[in-house]
């Protein structure tokens, strides 16, 4: 297989660019490095596209490896034919390859192998010829052999039909046709009842049927889970007789006696061997596709969550809500350093206890000039929010935000948290983490397994290794797109930097602690186990503020420093001007000179020139700063029971799924905006219109107090006709 050509066609990318990307990957370059610093070699593709190309490359290489294994196996059996070899070479999926290899696999002992041991294969071949002049019973009489266990002609014919049935089942073309038939006309049929599902978790699927080719991925995953929990029964069905007809027509030549026996063997094969096997394959394929789709949504949600704008330079009070043990508090300064900790009994306390808790929080606000409060969204969150909102009425300028606690408990009990805060117990570590999540979501969330962050759908049903790989790639891309401060970054944050593994990250931190702050990127070469290749991959993503070279505080790679200096010189500036008001006119001057001309004189490509200009104009820039700020609250707290249909609210998108998005409106329960209620135009997926962290205006459609559910709409015009619709059964889309 010409892998370069295949990928070039699939991604609509020049074959030359694909070849370059593959070469970089094989040399050990990371996706962030290739995307950022080798733009001329791949036509400025983004990191997500390059990562998809890398994944496709791995699949195709594995496919070729399996192709060679199959080819060798069949050749060793001396059963290879030119036609078979051509089919193997043309196969473009693993399923096609395995279908071709199926007849040659070493099988467990089956009815067909037993029949072959009895010497009945020649009879099977004779019947398959379907000669009108042949009497199969008379032919079978020649194979009667009591010693071999063939006592009469009927047993001989039965054994021959077992052989034919297995041959029919192993036919690659037939299996492909049946898969196509099921995808076109088959359906997923599901049944269930309240007896097996007393909680009604899967009531939407008690009488459910949908086409195999159109069923949504989130439904597949829900059905799979219900089946695993033995609350649903699932089957794949075809229109009556459709599968049987395809199978019989593929092998039956005529209505002779032998032809009728072949038909009988085909029907047996279809019912006993082929359909159960193809049904499993179809179900597996649907699940795999659903998982890939869900992982895509999870990955995009995670990307948006990690890239939410930080609330920089604010002294923040983190509140980890609780009932019996009180709310754990942690005050951190603008850099995330812990200033103080405490406990406030404001959720269950009464009288003196409650007042003492309020005084504790008020005291922290006064003493440390707290301007932002981060409240975890777990147990007792609403009660804590109620008291905090009352307290800050006496402190103008102080506001709060509800912060997702997902994964906080996992981090707090981890070895990493124990190393970072050995003097604090688990709950106080959670309060610190909650405060830092609001200050810089990216720096804090990288300490947690992405699977625990809770911005996906059915993440616990995903293949762990594949999900971990996909989400790890997202975190890596986000961290490198922002860059990190070499002198303050934690070891866990450094591990996501291009070219740095956990061992090297520890060495960087150790070197920093032993020798003081880095003042030059070149000092990285002195870190143990950080060689020339690792330096090439990581240097551009590590920032040094107030270092010897102002370029060290930009995303300009050291390999382009000379080019950057030349660009400054051509535009009439110097290195010392970086960070000053003088460079405000840099881009305008460069455009007047001509980017192409500058590219020639600086000796770098046009994309690199533009990147360098962007960095020189805003050294140390954070791409997240260009995004709208998160929604901070300071008003009264509402509960679900306070809401009425038609009420207008402001909220923050917390999670996105295939069927809609969940919005936090400050009532503790996130409300669902079904995909049909997100915007006026038709959209295939909510990600086309919203992203995690968006601040949106919504209207209440329905409040279900009994089940704690809230239905919302983002389209006011649809509000009236949507009011009263079931939260469970949103309007259908045509």
Domain of residue 537, CATH code: 1.10.150.310
Which residue, 400, 353, 398, is CA-closest to 381? 400
Cβ–Cβ under 8 Å, residues 449 and 460:
no
Do both 328 and 464 map to the same domain? yes
Do both 620 and 652 map to the same domain? no
On whether residue 601 sits in a domain, the answer given is: yes
- Distance between alpha carbon 717 and the CA centroid of its chain, in Å? 34
CA distance 694 to 701: 20
Do both 361 and 452 map to the same domain? yes
On whether residue 554 sits in a domain, the answer given is: yes
Instruction: Please name the residue that has the structure tokens 């860059």.
Output: 483
3-state secondary structure of 664: strand
Q: Which of 440, 470, 500 is the last residue of a domain?
A: 470
* pLDDT the model gives residue 184: 95
Residues 6+ positions from 235 with CB-CB distance below 8 Å: 188, 189, 279
Q: Which of 104, 119, 136 is the last residue of a domain?
A: 104
CA distance 151 to 335: 88
* Token reading at 149: 């266990």
CA distance 100 to 382: 60
Strands 484-485 and 542-543: parallel
CA distance 351 to 342: 19
CA distance 681 to 359: 51
Instruction: Please name the residue that has the structure tokens 């405060």.
Output: 435
- Report the greatest alpha carbon distance in the chain: 105
On whether residue 539 sits in a domain, the answer given is: yes
Instruction: Please name the residue that has the structure tokens 């590590």.
Output: 542
On whether residue 204 sits in a domain, the answer given is: no
Q: What angle (nearest 5°) sits at the alpha carbon of residue 333, between those of residues 328 and 338?
A: 45
Q: Which of 470, 502, 532 is the last residue of a domain?
A: 470
* pLDDT the model gives residue 621: 83
Do both 667 and 571 map to the same domain? no
* Token reading at 670: 């996130």
* pLDDT the model gives residue 635: 66
CATH number assigned to the domain comprising residue 387: 3.30.420.140
Give the residue numbers spanning the domain of 25: 3-104
Do both 451 and 345 map to the same domain? yes
State the alpha helices, DSSP H only, in 47-195. 47-76, 82-90, 94-101, 111-117, 121-129, 136-141, 153-169, 172-185
CA distance 241 to 371: 71
* pLDDT the model gives residue 636: 64
What are the pLDDT digits (tens) for 261-312?
A: 999 999 999 999 999 999 999 999 999 999 999 899 899 988 988 898 888 8
Compute how many other C-beta atoms are within 10 angstroms of the C-beta atom of residue 373: 33
Q: For residue 145, what are the β-bridge partners?
A: 150
What are the pLDDT digits (tens) for 188-232?
A: 999 999 999 998 889 999 999 999 999 999 999 999 999 999 999
Strands 372-376 and 316-320: parallel
Report which DSSP code applies to 704: E
CATH number assigned to the domain comprising residue 691: 2.40.50.140
Give me the residues of the chain with pLDDT under 70, please: 349, 635-637, 718-734
Do both 323 and 466 map to the same domain? yes
* pLDDT the model gives residue 320: 93
* pLDDT the model gives residue 719: 64
3-state secondary structure of 149: coil
Cβ–Cβ under 8 Å, residues 592 and 571:
no
Which residue, 50, 20, 23, 25, is CA-closest to 35? 50
Compute how many other C-beta atoms are within 10 angstroms of the C-beta atom of residue 592: 9
Do both 617 and 685 map to the same domain? no
On whether residue 335 sits in a domain, the answer given is: yes
In Å, how far are 43, 45, 310, 691 from 12, measured between CA atoms? 12, 11, 36, 27
Residues 6+ positions from 249 with CB-CB distance below 8 Å: none
Do both 359 and 390 map to the same domain? yes
Cβ–Cβ under 8 Å, residues 577 and 570:
no
* pLDDT the model gives residue 732: 31
275-306 helix and 464-482 helix, angle to the nearest 10 degrees: 20
3-state secondary structure of 617: helix
Do both 335 and 422 map to the same domain? yes
Do both 524 and 667 map to the same domain? no
Q: For residue 253, what are the β-bridge partners?
A: none
* pLDDT the model gives residue 734: 26
What are phi and psi for residue 303, nearest 5 degrees? -60, -45
Give the N- to C-terminal CA distance of the chain in Å, as an integer.
Answer: 41
CA distance 131 to 129: 6
Residues 6+ positions from 466 with CB-CB distance below 8 Å: 291, 295
Q: For residue 237, what are the β-bridge partners?
A: 187
On whether residue 271 sits in a domain, the answer given is: no
CATH number assigned to the domain comprising residue 54: 1.10.10.650
- Distance between alpha carbon 449 and the CA centroid of its chain, in Å? 13
On whether residue 651 sits in a domain, the answer given is: yes
Is 617 exposed, middle or buried (CB count within 10 Å of its CB: 0-12, 13-18, 19+)? middle
Do both 696 and 577 map to the same domain? no
Cβ–Cβ under 8 Å, residues 504 and 70:
no
Residue 516 φ/ψ region, left for φ over 0, alpha for ψ in the -120 to 50 degree band, beta for the rest: left
On whether residue 294 sits in a domain, the answer given is: no
Q: Structurally, how many domains does the chain consist of?
A: 4
Cβ–Cβ under 8 Å, residues 54 and 498:
no
Do both 591 and 644 map to the same domain? no
């Amino acid at each position: 297989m010409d892998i370069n050509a295949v990928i070039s066609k699939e991604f609509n990318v020049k074959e030359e660019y694909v070849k370059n990307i593959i070469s970089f990957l094989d040399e050990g370059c990371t996706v962030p490095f290739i995307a950022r610093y080798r733009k001329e070699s791949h036509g400025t593709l983004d990191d997500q596209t390059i990562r998809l190309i890398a994944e496709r490359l791995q699949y195709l290489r594995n496919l070729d490896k399996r192709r060679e294994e199959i080819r060798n196996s069949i050749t060793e059996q001396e059963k290879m034919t030119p036609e078979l070899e051509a089919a193997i070479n043309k196969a473009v999926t693993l399923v096609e390859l395995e279908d071709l290899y199926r007849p040659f696999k070493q099988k467990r002992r089956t009815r067909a192998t037993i029949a072959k041991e009895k010497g009945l294969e020649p009879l099977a071949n004779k019947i398959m010829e379907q000669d009108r002049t042949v009497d199969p019973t008379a032919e079978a009489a020649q194979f009667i052999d009591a010693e071999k266990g063939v006592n009469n002609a009927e047993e001989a014919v039965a054994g021959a039909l077992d052989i034919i049935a297995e041959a029919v089942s192993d036919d690659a073309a037939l299996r492909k046709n049946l898969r196509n038939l099921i995808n076109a006309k088959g359906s997923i049929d599901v049944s269930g009842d309240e007896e097996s599902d007393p909680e009604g978790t899967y009531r939407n699927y008690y009488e459910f049927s949908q086409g195999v080719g159109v069923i949504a991925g989130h439904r597949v995953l829900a059905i799979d889970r219900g089946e695993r929990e033995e609350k649903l029964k699932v089957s794949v069905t075809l229109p009556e007789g459709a599968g049987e007809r395809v199978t019989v027509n593929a092998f039956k030549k005529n209505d002779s006696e032998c032809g009728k026996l072949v038909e009988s063997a085909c029907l047996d094969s279809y019912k006993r061997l082929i359909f159960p096997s193809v049904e499993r394959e179809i179900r597996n394929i649907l699940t795999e596709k659903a998982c890939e789709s869900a992982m895509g949504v999870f990955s995009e949600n995670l990307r948006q969550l990690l890239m939410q704008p930080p609330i920089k330079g604010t002294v923040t009070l983190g509140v980890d809500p609780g009932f019996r043990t009180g709310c754990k508090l942690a005050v951190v300064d603008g850099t995330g350093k812990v200033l103080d900790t405490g406990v406030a009994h404001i959720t269950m306390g009464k009288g003196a206890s409650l007042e003492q808790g309020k005084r504790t929080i008020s005291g922290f606000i006064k003493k440390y000039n707290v301007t932002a409060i981060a409240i975890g969204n777990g147990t007792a969150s609403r009660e804590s929010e109620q008291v905090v909102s009352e307290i800050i009425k006496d402190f103008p300028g102080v506001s709060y935000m509800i912060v997702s606690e997902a994964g906080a408990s996992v981090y707090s009990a981890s070895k990493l948290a124990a190393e970072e805060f050995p003097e604090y117990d688990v709950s106080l570590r959670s309060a610190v983490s909650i405060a830092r999540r609001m200050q810089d979501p990216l720096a804090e969330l990288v300490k947690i397994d992405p699977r625990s962050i809770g911005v996906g759908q059915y993440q616990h049903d995903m293949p762990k290794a594949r999900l971990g790989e996909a989400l790890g790639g997202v975190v890596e891309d986000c961290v490198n797109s922002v860059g990190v401060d070499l002198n303050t970054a934690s070891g866990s944050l450094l591990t996501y930097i291009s070219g740095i593994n956990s061992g090297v990250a520890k060495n960087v931190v150790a070197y920093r602690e032993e020798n003081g702050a880095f003042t030059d990127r070149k000092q990285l070469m002195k870190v143990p186990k950080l060689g020339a290749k690792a330096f090439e991959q990581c240097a551009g993503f590590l920032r040094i503020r107030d270092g010897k070279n102002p370029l060290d505080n930009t995303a300009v790679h050291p390999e382009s420093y000379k080019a950057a200096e030349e660009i400054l010189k051509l535009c009439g500036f110097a290195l010392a001007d970086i960070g000053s008001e003088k460079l405000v006119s840099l881009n305008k001057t460069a455009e007047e000179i001509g980017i192409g001309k500058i590219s020639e004189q600086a000796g770098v490509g046009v994309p690199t020139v533009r990147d360098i200009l962007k960095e020189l104009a805003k050294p140390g820039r954070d791409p997240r700063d260009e995004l709208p700020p998160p929604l901070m609250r300071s008003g009264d707290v509402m509960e679900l029971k306070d809401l009425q249909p038609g009420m207008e609210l402001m909220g923050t998108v917390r999670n996105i799924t295939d069927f809609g998005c969940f919005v936090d409106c400050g009532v503790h329960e996130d409300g669902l905006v079904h995909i049909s209620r997100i915007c006026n135009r038709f959209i295939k997926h909510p990600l086309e219109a919203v992203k995690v962290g968006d601040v949106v205006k919504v209207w209440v459609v329905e409040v279900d107090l009994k089940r704690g559910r809230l239905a919302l709409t983002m389209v006011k015009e649809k509000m009236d006709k949507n009011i009263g619709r079931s939260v469970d059964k949103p309007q259908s889309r045509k």
